[in-house]
Structure 1
Amino acid sequence: MNSIETVAAYLIENAESLAGQIVDDILSKFQFDVPKGEIEQAVTVYTEFIEYLGEAITSEDEKVPKGLLEWSKKNGEREASLMGRISSVIERYPETRLVFIKRMTAVTMEHGLATGEVAMVNRRANYMLDISITETVRAFERYTANIIKERQREINELSAPIVPIQDGIAVLPLIGSIDSDRADHLLNHVVPRISELKIECLIMDFSGIVTIDTEVASHLFAIHDILGLLGINIIATGIRPDLASRVVREGIDFSTVQTFATVKQAIENMA
């Protein structure tokens, strides 16, 4: 067994104890207390990383083990699921790298590796650390983006409820800013429900709307046209003076839509 293979075997067999030493060294660099659970998790993480490094240094190619990529991905997803900050991962990275490389250098020199071999092990370790942190950040961002998307979907659901008020009559209160995503949600999710509820007249109340533009207005007119084809009458209420002025400036034509100042007035007109 040559010296590189000896070091590889040593790293794999002693991964846990080396990980414990590295974590202790890293913790001594930080000026804050770390919960016991996080320390144990860090030891587990570095144990796996050192095992991957042991496998990598005996490989002829520069490819990163698939296991390391999956491991890094899980690290990023875990941090995101705990509502952590990606900066909390990155800010510890420089000190972690220095400690890790120092420990690996000591191990390789203790096993009598030549200068070139020590450099090769450190180069491979640095490369793996770089790939690992990159994949961790990407996984964190993907997971966070999915969380944001799901929360936006929930917000869209809550911000556009269909409220039945009489047989065949319902109110659709529009709240906040209507952007393209919310307009698409109305078109693809709310409209089908209106038809399923056998609503004959829908009052779209704009009193909670902050702003509107021509793109959003086109979506709302599409909703108006689709519901009209289904035989559902559309009434608009709550278009405030400032919103009406904005509508006029944007060149939006609401003249084909029956409007009232309030939901109450619209209902009284039906009596």
Structure 2
Amino acid sequence: MEEVRKVGRYLIENAEKIIRDITKKALVNVDIPVTEEMLEHSIQQNVEFLMLIANSFEETEEAAEAELIKWSKQVGEQQAALFSQFSTILKPFAKNRLMYLECITQISIDHGLSVENVVKINNRINYLMDVSLMETISAYEVYRDSLMEERQKEINELSAPIVPIQAGIAVLPLIGMIDSYRFQYVINHLVPLIPSRSIDHLIIDFSGILTIDSEVAEQIFILHSVLQLLGIHVLFSGIRPNLSMEVVRAGIDFSSFHTFGSVKQAIDSLK
């Protein structure tokens, strides 16, 4: 065990030189442009990683894993944010792992380690690299889901803006594919803004909607009821025949609603 610790101490003392040598060889496996700042950042992260591996030689596998997971969670999201596709991170992983193993195996042999201890070190490296990769994948998924949620929020804001027309009158044009999620956004985020904008009449225009399902058709009724409770006079415009069919299939009675063929007709009715 002492000879394994000796290799660990050597790796810690020479971590930066070892990583710079490995990085120089690894750059040939990278397909994307790498700036000096990105390169230096990657080197420092790998130095930390190598030192974690070296320190783990004196720990149990469970303790080593716990330390590496803690570290990986800190750096995983940073790595994920640098790349738009996970394949960019994953593609060179196998070759880089091999270079790590070849380098540390040679160091182990130079320190006179037995075959058994060389295998023990390599097994530990392989295991911790797999743990690190899984944490990176997890961080990337969290980052990607967060990014998609933000983009969906932006799409919702752009596809359902409240447009003032004149004093007391505004139009809410619904654009694109309106599903239950996006209609909930309208109810939960846009409706609370309406009273503060001194709107007495709101024209909800459906002419920009591609399609609509029965669940959303039911939510139209809910939206109408909510706005009425707020004292807003609601008018609907642009409900084309295919949208009307969905409303009928949903069993919703629109006969009591004020509906118009266009926004202009709705505005003229208010005059």
Q: Which TM-score applies when normalising by structure 2? A: 0.91
TM-aligned CA distance change 1:217 to 1:30, over 3 Å: closer
Give the residue type in structure 1 aligned to 2:191.
V
TM-aligned CA distance change 1:142 to 1:115, over 3 Å: same
CA offset digits 1:238-258 (Å, max 9, x no partner): 112333344445545432321
Deviation at 1:37, TM superposition (A): 3.5
For the pair 1:187 / 2:187, whether they are aligned, the reply is yes
CA offset digits 1:208-261 (Å, max 9, x no partner): 111111111222211111111222121100112333344445545432321000
Partner of 2:143: 143
**Contact kept in structure 2, 1:178 and 1:209, CA below 8 Å:** yes
Partner of 1:93: 93
Partner SS for 2:254: coil
Deviation at 1:65, TM superposition (A): 5.3
Give the residue type in structure 2 aligned to 1:204.
I
**Contact kept in structure 1, 2:57 and 2:121, CA below 8 Å:** yes
Structure 2 Cα separation of the partners of residues 201 and 140 of structure 1: 46
Structure 2 Cα separation of the partners of residues 83 and 129 of structure 1: 20
Partner SS for 2:211: coil
Output aligned runs, 1:1-271, within 5 Å. 2-29=2-29, 34-64=34-64, 66=66, 68-249=68-249, 251-271=251-271
Worse overlay, 120-129 or 83-92:
83-92
**Contact kept in structure 2, 1:76 and 1:139, CA below 8 Å:** yes
Structure 1 Cα separation of the partners of residues 126 and 254 of structure 2: 63
CA offset digits 1:133-190 (Å, max 9, x no partner): 1101110110111111112112212221111222222111111111122111111111
Partner SS for 1:9: helix
Q: Which TM-score applies when normalising by structure 1? A: 0.91
Structure 2 Cα separation of the partners of residues 60 and 200 of structure 1: 69
Structure 2 Cα separation of the partners of residues 202 and 118 of structure 1: 75
Partner SS for 1:170: strand
Structure 1 gaps of 5+ residues are none
**Contact kept in structure 1, 2:205 and 2:263, CA below 8 Å:** yes
Partner SS for 1:174: strand
**Contact kept in structure 2, 1:4 and 1:113, CA below 8 Å:** yes
Structure 2 Cα separation of the partners of residues 29 and 144 of structure 1: 25
Worse overlay, 161-170 or 116-125:
161-170
Task: Tell me the matched-pair count.
Answer: 271
CA offset digits 1:37-67 (Å, max 9, x no partner): 4432332222111100111011134333555
Structure 1 Cα separation of the partners of residues 10 and 256 of structure 2: 80
**Contact kept in structure 2, 1:52 and 1:65, CA below 8 Å:** no
Structure 2 gaps of 5+ residues are none
Same amino acid, percent of matched pairs: 44
Give the residue type in structure 2 aligned to 1:88.
T
**Contact kept in structure 1, 2:237 and 2:261, CA below 8 Å:** yes
**Contact kept in structure 2, 1:19 and 1:47, CA below 8 Å:** yes
TM-aligned CA distance change 1:83 to 1:240, over 3 Å: farther
Structure 1 Cα separation of the partners of residues 199 and 28 of structure 2: 67
Structure 1 Cα separation of the partners of residues 129 and 23 of structure 2: 15
Partner SS for 2:198: coil
